[in-house]
Amino acid sequence: MEPPATARKSSSRRLLFDRRYGWVVDEWKDPSEEALAGGRGMFCVVPLGITLYKTASQSVNSAVKFMDMKLQKWANPMDNPISIGGGDSRSVFET
């Protein structure tokens, strides 16, 4: 009589025909062993794409806000508190 692990291992693989892929070897694995084995190296493109889009959008928005702030200071030097005080010798274009 064979031990249960050996008998189960020999019957866990079978050759199947799949309409999408043709002949494939199907191997049944115990779900409790697979759960403890960790990830299979799989990922989903949709959440990665959404995260990439949000990160890029936030980066562009912060760069545009920064440039808008700098251009407003450059276009209106009288609104700059450094130039109004008069006591400071720094240039209006220095930040």
| One-character DSSP codes across 76-92 | -GGGSHHHHH----S-T
pLDDT at 6 over 60: no
pLDDT band of 62, cuts 50, 70, 90: very high
In this predicted structure, what is the pLDDT of residue 60? 95
The Cα 63–Cα 42 span in angstroms is 34
- Name the residue type at position 22: G
Cβ distance 23 to 16 under 8 Å? yes
44 vs 71, higher pLDDT: 71
**Residue 54 banded pLDDT, cuts 50, 70, 90:** very high
Tell me the domain boundaries of the chain.
Answer: 45-85
Q: According to the model, what pLDDT value does residue 94 have? A: 55
- Residue 46's pLDDT band, with cuts at 50, 70 and 90, is confident
